[in-house]
Structure 1
């Protein structure tokens, strides 16, 4: 089993490849700490927590997915957790479609957060 440092590196590689945008909602994420993120977007620490970068397995580990680059994308903690909290979790592709549909309707993240984060895309902080 790969070490936590390996998964951390896979997460960072995926986030860099995705320009630090969540695989699902396409909004910016933070990695090392939320301080600069909070300052840039002027949202509360509780709301900023939603956008912490996590490693997301496209094929869940419980379904045999591995900690390898092709199976790891970067997702905000809210999108990642929401996928896995469902009674019958969708696969990553279907979850992305649901998230993007709800985003288009303004019904995924709170409206003030979506407005603040959509104004300007950024590199990780």
Structure 2
């Protein structure tokens, strides 16, 4: 049986078509090895694209566990936002990530396209 966080992560993953809320890269939910194989990555490289439940307003800042406060984000984006010294609004962080992605300065390795749905 899935816990609440796993259910929210899965729901967000599916509603976002398996793409990260911030960087729009494909993510994996259950099978790292299959994702790595399909996208031409090593397992180590694929780990950064694991789907996580991102609290748009962190719980530490008063955010709730409600589904409307959760987005699916790759491990890399979730980790980087969580390490910021000052809380940045999700929309502002998304714009920042998108700009960095455009010039190749966000992920060290990108999954090969086209995107296939991996659950």
For normalisation by structure 1, the TM-score amounts to 0.89
Aligned to 1:82: 80
The list of structure 1 runs, each at least 4 consecutive aligned residues, that deviate by more than 2 angstroms after superposition, is: none
Aligned residue pair count: 118
Q: CA RMSD in A?
A: 1.3
Does structure 1 residue 43 correspond to structure 2 residue 37?
no
Q: Which consecutive residues of structure 1, in runs of 5 or more, have no partner in the other structure? A: none
Native 8 Å contact 2:52 2:72 kept in 1: yes
For normalisation by structure 2, the TM-score amounts to 0.93
- Answer 1 or 2: which has greater helix percent: 1
- The 2-side partners of 1:122 and 1:87 are apart by 35
SS in structure 2 opposite 1:83? helix
- The 1-side partners of 2:6 and 2:75 are apart by 14
Q: Structure 2 vs 1, CA of residues 26 and 118 (structure 1 numbering), >3 Å: closer, same or farther? A: farther
Q: Which consecutive residues of structure 2, in runs of 5 or more, have no partner in the other structure? A: none
